[in-house]
Structures are given as structure tokens and as C-alpha cells.
Chains A and B, each alone.
Chain A
Amino acid sequence: MDEAKESVFEETKDDTGAKLGMWLFILSELILFGGMFILYATYRYKNPADFHHASKELDVILGTLNTIILLTSSLCIAASISAVRKGERKLSMYLLMATMALGLVFLVNKGFEWTTKIEHGIYPNSPALLARPKGEILFFGLYYIMTGLHGLHVLVGVCVFSVMLVLFVKDKLNQRRFIPLENSGLYWHLVDIIWIFLYPLFYLIT
């Protein structure tokens, strides 16, 4: 928007407003996952032994690897935002691509983890799972839903980043205007922080 048109409106670009909107959205996302965490807490409290046994079956190494991958991707996107602020467009784009790549690697890992479990006959409503104690059915039910929902958010994040990449190419993201990138970064940190809670709840606490 050029200067002449800007003067027509008193409120032209409201970066603070855009960020406020994003924070409100993140708040509602947190509560969406909050509902799942309530279920997890309640069922864990009711079936401590079953949760203990079931959680031992998850692959801690793969989980830890994914945690490292996701944290690194968060670092990349934060660095990408800093870079665009300083006007280093190329660097910012590379970091953005690195974030996307790490997000995809996370999903591939998750896919391996899921398929291994499914090959062992452990998936919702499977005969092998239904033969187990009820607490374990719940544990794996929650595992699939919560990591699945989280994975979906990772996928959405990667899609959003590819839109950002297009914006970069069209020069709609630059030193003067980078709020969309900052907001998608905020979203990515949300995805990250939810994983920070999922990881210990499913893999570490036994």
C-alpha cells in the first residue's frame, strides 16, 4: 500500500491487532488440547497400573529423537524471524525451509512409530488391544488421538510455512512487513509446547 492511500484510513495496518488475534487463537487451541489432557489425567488417575505397563511399550528413543527434532525446528523458525527483521531475506528463507524439513521428518518418524505399533496389532478396536486390560485400551486410544491431533497440527504448520515461502518469493514478506511469518512462528511454538507435554506424559512417566 503506498503512502497516499494509507493516509485515507486512520488505522491502516494493525500489527498489534494481528498478533492479539493470533494469541487468542492459540488460547483456544490450548483449550482444545486441554480437553484431551483432562481425559488423560482422569484416566491415568483411574488406571495407574495399566498406564504404567502400556507406556513402557512406547519407543523412548524415537520419542526423544522427535522431541529434539521439533525443538530444533522451533529454534529455526525463531532464527528465521530474527533474520527477516534484520533484512537477511535469503537466510530467513533457508531457515524457514529447514523448519519445514524438520517438521516433515517429525511426521515421518511418527509414521514409523505408528506403523510399528499397528503391525504389532495395537490400534483402536483391534482384537489384540481389546484383549488387554481396559486401562491399556484407554492409554493407546489416547496415544493415537493425542499424537494424531498433534501430528495434524504439525502438518497444518508445514502447509502454513509453504504459504509463507510463497509470500517470500512474491516479496510480500520483508523487513517492513513480517507479521504473517511471526504469527505462523507463534503457531509453531504452540505445536512445539504441546509436544513438550505429550512427550513426558506418554514416553517418560511410567
Chain B
Amino acid sequence: MASAERTEGVRPRISFYKDHGQYHGILSWILTKDHKRIGLLYLIFVIAFFFSGVVLGFFMRLEMVAPGGTIMGPQTYNSLFTLHGIIMIFLVVIPAIPTIFGNFFLPIQIGARDVAFPKINLLSWWLYVSGAIVVFFSVFTGQGPPDTGWTFYAPYSLRTTVNVPLAVFGVFILGMSSILTGINLVTTTHRLRAPGMTWKRLPLFVWGIYSTSWVQILATPVIGITMVLIILDRFFGVGIFDPAKGGDPILYQHMFWIYSHPATYIMILPAMGIVSDVVPVFARKKIFGYTAIALSGMAIAAVGSLVWGHHMFVSGQSDFADILFSLLTFLVAVPSAIKVFNWVATLHKGSIVIEPPLLFCLAFIFLFSIGGLTGLLQGALAPNLHLHDTYWIPGHFHYIIFGGMGFGLFAAFHYWFPKMFGRMYRRKIAIWAWVVMLIGFNIFYFSMLLLGWEGMPRRYFDYLPQFRTLHLTATFGSWILIAGLIIMFSNLFHGLFKGEKAEDNPWKGATLEWQIPSPPPTENFEKIPIIQHGPHDFKELEKNG
């Protein structure tokens, strides 16, 4: 089971693209045990699903451009927001960074040749693909795609005639994939660090993935069992959440959010890790408060697992629970704020180099701060009564998930692109894409915040005339945002095939992945390196030439 079962001859200098191992053609990819190839497999699928989610979102916004039914009926709209949620949450934002960049870079950054369990890593990918296929079938078979919202709230999910069980089963399989990835990366971090790679010398991206992996291991089983219970109810009528048979639907909500709230930290923690490593590289300065950032990630993972009840303030849970969950929600803001302050402090008096990865990180800090502060507003009990189930909520979480995790992901694309593909994209166009996306994003989602503030309920396909202007603005913003996405991705695709050859270390980073060729050789390192300095020790790097 250990990493070095590959007894093939060592060919250290050949790029992993050229070393196809024991299989050829497509099999050399879908049966690979190389962590870098598996990372790229995830990359392809995540991008494909991201665009399906974007298309669904585009049509939802188009429907909302004017009051009344514009291009679709209410049932279609219900399916659209459900699928948009399922695809974006379970197939894109939860797996994206740990599976693509965690797989590709975590072993390199700690000085290892692969993850701890390469076969299980491949199994995770196959489970991910299987889960995706099951979700895909749930759309086109049975009595229509699910219409419950991505939360599958009982008892409606038990009653609706559409294809909920299949979708829920897909989520269950995706959960298994997520758990196995978590186990793999935790074990890798514990066992395969190179000599001298102490915990205090780990790149902060590794810390981000490490804390995320713990949440994946400890929280995901709960949604697994909850999804199983829905399936059992649909097929055998067991009735654990069915009030007609004594079940308690609020208990369903608890079970669902025990996973799904920590899941938001599965989304954001790796992105925070990326920002914590990218900012120092472009400020040419050691990160401010390394230990604070590393430990605040663990604190977010721990406290974040105890705040799920803030999704249920109006569900009828006890006042005591409300107060407790509200308090814990405020507590979790503390470690998040520590990180934001430390990033800003790192930039302070740094020799800042403006490059696309840094710009995406700055966007992260800005958008995440708005998302975080709006989160505090709705985490307080009295305003929550007003804001609950309004457009404010999707506005808030898109600031966190898209503005935070999404822009973190884009930062990672632009930061590691030259290392992964050995080529460079056109930097000026990347900066233009960043500008366009940032403008579109804020026009779009800030309108949503305002709509919610004025009382527009979420998940409605129609609205009162007074919301017309803001809805029009939001839809307009969505077009700008999509235009920015198209510019960014076409620029990256262009770079992939036609970009100039990249140097091994174009950003002058001090972490291990920049000290090996681009793209990396199969075994990553000719000899396992001996680590003598931290991840942001740029002076040491320059001294050694």
C-alpha cells in the first residue's frame, strides 16, 4: 500500500507527460497512479462541471431578467437551481482544490514522490467520476431532474415524485471519494515529509489542505448516512424523517448541516492556503504570522464543525440552541479575520510585484471580507429573521464560495500554470480577465445582497415589480462575469497550446515545486531533498542562486 510500490525503473529527468508508465494512450491516464496525472484528470472534470454549472446559472439569471415567466416555467426553474447547487457544490467547489492542486502539489511541496496510497488515490477519482455519472443520470431518467434544492430537505424530498434517490446516491458516492482523498492527504502529510520538513516549515498551502482533509474525514460520513436514509425512505418507506411515521424533519436539517456547514470550510480552507503562499511570493517577504495562519486554519476546521445550527434559526429549534450557535458563529469569524489581517500585514512594506496570481489573491481578500462580514450580519439572531431565505443568503455565500474559493482557485490556476504545463499564458490578458470578472462579480452579487435586504425571497422564479431594476442589474452583471470567465479560460487554453516555454521558477518562489523542472518529472525529485529553510525564505533562495 505504501508509496513506492512502483518498481518501474527510475527515469528522473523525463517529464511525467512523456513517462506513460505501463499503459499507453488514454489508459496511461485513467489507470495512472501518478499523483500529478490524477490531479490533471480531476482538473478536466472540474472545469467541465464548472461550465455546466455556469450555464445553468446563466439561464436562471436570464429567467429573472423580467417579472413573470420569461423563458421557462417554475418547475424547470426549480430543477435549474437544484442542479446548479448539486453540480457546483458537490462536483466543483468541494473537490476542486484538494483534488487538483492538493494531489498535484502537496506531495511535491513536502518533498515526496507521491501520495501515501496511490491506488486509493486513483480509486477516489473513479468514485468521483461514478458519482458524477449517477448525478448525470438523475437528470435525464425517471420523472425528471430533482427539484428539492441541493439541500434535499425532508419531508419534501421524500414526497416529490422526481428523481431524488438517484441524485442523492450520487452525492453518497462523491462523499466516499472525498473521504478517501482526505485520508490519503492526511497520511501523506504525516508520513512522507522529506527530512528537515518540520511542521513549521510546511508551506501554508499544505496546512490548508491538511486542515481541510480532517474536515473531509470527520464530517462527510454524516451526509453519507443521511443520504442513505433518504434512499431507504424512498424505497422502503422507513420513515426516519417522515413526520407521518414519527420522524422529525428538523433532525434531517441538523444531520444535513452537520456535514454541509463544515463543507463550506472544505471549500474555503484550501483557497486560504493558496493565498497564504502566493501573497509572500509577490510581496517578496516572509508571511506575517506563519504560526497564527497555520493554527487558525485548524481552529476554523474545529470551531466551524460546531456552527451548523445557524442555518436553522427559523426552523423551530430551541432558543437556547439559537443563541449557542450564533455565539459559535461569531467565534469562527476570529480565526478568519486573523488570516485576513496577516495577509494584509504581509503586503505592508513588501516589494510588491503585480502579477496575475497576486491580483486574484487580492480579489480573494476583498470579496472574502465582504462575504465574511455579511455572514456575521446573518449570523446574528435578529437580522437573521429578516434575511433568512432571501436573496441576501445566496449573495453572501457566492461572495464566500465564488469570490473566495473561486478566485482562490483562479489564483492557483495562474500561479501554478507554468509549473503544471511548462508554458506561460499571456499575462496582460489574464489581468484584463481579472478586471472584467471583478466588475461583473460585484455588479451581480451585490445586487443580490441588496435584493435580499429589500425582501426578495430566494428560489422564486417570479417577483414583484419593485425588484425589477435590481434583478436587471444582477442579470447584466452575470453577463459581464461570464465574459470575464471566457476571456480567462480562453487565455489559459491558448497558453496551454501556444504559450511561451516557462522557466522552472518564473515567480521566484521558495517552495519545493519551484526547485524542480517544469513540468515535473515522474518521480518529482532525483533525490529526496533535505529541507533547511521555511517556505518563504526568499533570501536563502537568492543566496543559492
Contacts and interface: CB of A to CB of B under 8 A. Distances in A.
A13 B221 contact: no
Contacts of A15: 2
Contacts of B221: 28-29, 31-32, 34-35
A125 B239 contact: yes
B64 to A, nearest CB: 37
Interface in A155-189: 179-180
Given A17-B116, A141-B240, A24 B187 contact: yes
Interface residues of A, number: 47
Interface stretch (A57-65, A109-117, A129-137, A198-206): A129-137
Contact of B191 (A9, A16, A31): A16
Given A8-B10, A134-B246, A24 B186 contact: yes
B1 A130 contact: no
A134 B245 contact: yes
A31 B222 contact: yes
B90 interface: no
B4 A11 contact: yes
B190 A9 contact: no
Contacts of A32: 221-222, 224-225
Between A16, A39, A46, A130, the greatest number of chain B beta carbons within 10 A of the residue's beta carbon is seen for: A39
Contacts of A124: 232, 236-239
B246 A138 contact: yes
A201 to B, nearest CB: 16
Contacts of A144: 238
Interface stretch (B42-50, B247-255, B291-299, B506-514): B247-255
Interface in B1-38: 1-4, 7, 10
A25 B192 contact: no
Q: Is the interface of B mostly helix, strand, loop or mixed?
A: helix
Given A20-B187, A124-B236, A124-B237, A39 B2 contact: no
A147 interface: no
Given A11-B2, A21-B184, A28-B221, A42 B248 contact: yes
Contact of A17 (B187, B226, B232, B239): B187
Given A11-B3, A21-B117, A125 B237 contact: yes
Contacts, number: 126
B94 to A, nearest CB: 16
A12 B232 CA distance: 44
Q: Is the interface of A mostly helix, strand, loop or mixed?
A: helix
B286 interface: no
B220 interface: yes
Between A10, A15, A34, A144, the greatest number of chain B beta carbons within 10 A of the residue's beta carbon is seen for: A10
B173 to A, nearest CB: 14
Contacts of A1: 7
B184 A35 contact: no
B251 A39 contact: yes
B3 A43 contact: no
12 contacts: A9-B3, A17-B1, A17-B116, A24-B187, A24-B217, A28-B220, A32-B224, A33-B225, A47-B246, A125-B239, A138-B245, A180-B1
